[in-house]
């Protein structure tokens, strides 16, 4: 399994971070699964497993606390760019996020950032619309009881 380069780009604050050091667990044309440690360690997050659905533009992460216990699911809504020559993925954060706690509590995050990015011309109307549609898809999956996707429940990737 060849290991591609992976970058994460955010608009607010604007930054591009090389996350290629994340451990690659699996990759095919549909999904990229990585294990990672928090870039900026926090008391509530030590690391996790991320399932990047390359065609859907959704990254679902299983976050762990400092004691390596499951803390929550975190869904990033993204655009994915792939450069075949460089074998490089760029995951572009489209700002909206969904956080799902083990007790079923759900929060939609960063809608204000999406509005600011659109007002300031940091993202296009098309990107904002994609972000909203993908968020709705995640919410519908939660409401219908089909979240998380089956691959995210495969315990062979869960060890942090």
CATH number of the domain bearing residue 102? 2.40.380.10
Residue 158 included in any domain: no
What domain range includes position 66? Answer: 5-152
Give the residue from 87, 72, 73, 78 showing the smallest Cα distance to 59. 78
Q: How many domains does the chain have?
A: 1
**What integer pLDDT is reported at residue 160 of this predicted model?**
62
pLDDT over threshold 90, residue 158: no
**Digit-coded pLDDT (tens) for 131-144:** 999 999 999 999 99
User: pLDDT tens for residues 25-78?
Assistant: 999 999 999 999 987 777 788 899 999 999 999 999 999 998 889 999 999 999
For 131, the 3-state DSSP assignment is helix
Q: What percent of the chain has pLDDT over 90?
A: 85
SS3 132: helix
Give how far Cα 133 sits from Cα of 40, 127, 129, 147, Å: 30, 10, 6, 16
| More confidently predicted of 155 and 112 | 112
Domain contains 67: yes
Note whether residue 160 is domain-resident. no
């Amino acid at each position: 399994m060849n290991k591609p380069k992976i970058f994460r780009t955010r608009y607010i604050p604007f930054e591009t971070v090389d996350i290629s050091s994340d451990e690659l667990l699996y990759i095919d044309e549909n999904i990229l699964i990585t294990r990672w440690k928090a870039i900026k360690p926090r008391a509530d997050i030590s690391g996790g497993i991320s399932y990047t659905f390359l065609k859907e533009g959704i990254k679902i992460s299983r976050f762990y606390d400092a004691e390596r216990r499951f803390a929550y699911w975190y869904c990033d809504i993204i655009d994915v760019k792939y450069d075949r020559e460089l074998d490089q993925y760029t995951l572009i954060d489209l700002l909206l996020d969904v956080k799902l706690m083990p007790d079923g509590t759900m929060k939609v995050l960063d809608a204000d950032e999406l509005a600011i990015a659109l007002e300031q011309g940091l993202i296009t109307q098309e990107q904002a619309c994609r972000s909203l549609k993908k968020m709705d898809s995640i919410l519908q999956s939660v409401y219908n009881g089909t979240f998380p996707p089956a691959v995210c429940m495969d315990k062979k990737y869960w060890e942090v």
